[in-house]
Amino acid sequence: MADGDGGYSAIFEGAATFEWQRDVVRVRGPEAERYLQGQLSQDMAVLGELGWAWSLVLRPEGRLVALVRVSKRGPEEYLLDTDAGVGPALVERLLMFKLRTRADVEAVPLQVAPVRGRDVGVGSPGAGEATVTVPFHWGGLAGYDLFGPVGGPAPELPTGTVAASPEAYEAARIEAGFPRHGAELDERTIPAEAGLVSVAVSFTKGCYTGQELVARIDARGSNVPRRLYGLSLSGPAQPGAALYEVPGAEKALGSLTSAARSPRSGWVGLGYVKRGVEPGRTVYVEAEGGVEECQVCELPIYAPPAPPDR
């Protein structure tokens, strides 16, 4: 990629950091693992020391409270990080079922320094004993995040790390298909709609809160009324705009949830479309200048090729 792309190319191909806010919740105590095993969709028993996984915290009826990354920090301690602003609802939901359980649930103020790219290495220690390193993988994005105490020194980044712009990260996020609370995810989200089940659910563990809906939809072939897809747009459009089968149609097929201009792919977006709309189909979105064409795409829209063997 050419220079002047706002750090976009480094997010995939080099080493990049960017502004990213996360809410972090700590669950700690002698019964922390047993408690989380009944509350999270992933199997806590197989994480291993300092292991991590994407997981879901659901309401009893099976709709989403939070997409979290759970990381084990010791025999009795776990960190759950999620999008900024979701932490209070996550704490409230976890406390709802914590009666007579020897585990504490609390929000932890931590600063995060994200690192993405092919050249970032794995498990870089950061600076100081207080720094926590958690890997990150989703679609075409890979790297890790460094968490440190608020008010303390910023976690140390790898030499040569590029500061990417918010616009560059948003384009990369969309191409990777990484959903965000407040855009693709909210309290009405059914996990199968957003493509969360394959990356954040274990079907071999025991029961957990909200499991019934996830299991029932999976048993029916993941047949849901709408599904999250990538979109390749002919021009700019605003999130929230309706998607139509033909320009001027009265009934919408879905809606655009995110959009950005990628230096690699042009205008890209994420959006929910109704059942029956398959990848490769062209739909239309309302835009300020009129109507833009959108080709429905499988996710991720872009993933970098595997690095050569060394």
Sequence ranges of the domains in the chain: 8-176, 225-310
**What pLDDT, on a 0 to 100 scale, did the predictor assign at position 120?**
83
C-alpha span between 153 and 149 (Å, rounded): 8
Mean pLDDT, 10 residues at a time, the chain of 310 residues:
78 95 97 97 91 97 98 95 98 94 96 92 52 93 94 86 97 98 97 97 95 95 94 97 94 97 97 96 92 97 76
Q: What pLDDT, on a 0 to 100 scale, did the predictor assign at position 1?
A: 41
* Residues β-bridged to residue 151: none
Rounded to a whole number of angstroms, the CA Rg of the chain reads 20
In this chain, the answer to whether the domains covering 8-176 and 225-310 adopt an identical fold is no
Predicted confidence at residue 125, as pLDDT, reads 45
Q: Which CATH class is domain 225-310?
A: mainly beta
- CB atoms under 10 Å from CB of 63, counted, come to 15
By the 8 A CB rule, do 22 and 192 touch? no
Residue 183 CB coordination number (10 Å): 18
Amino acid (1-letter code) at residue 196: L
Write down the CATH superfamily of domain 8-176: Probable tRNA modification gtpase trme; domain 1 (3.30.1360.120)
Please tell me the predicted confidence (pLDDT) of residue 123.
47
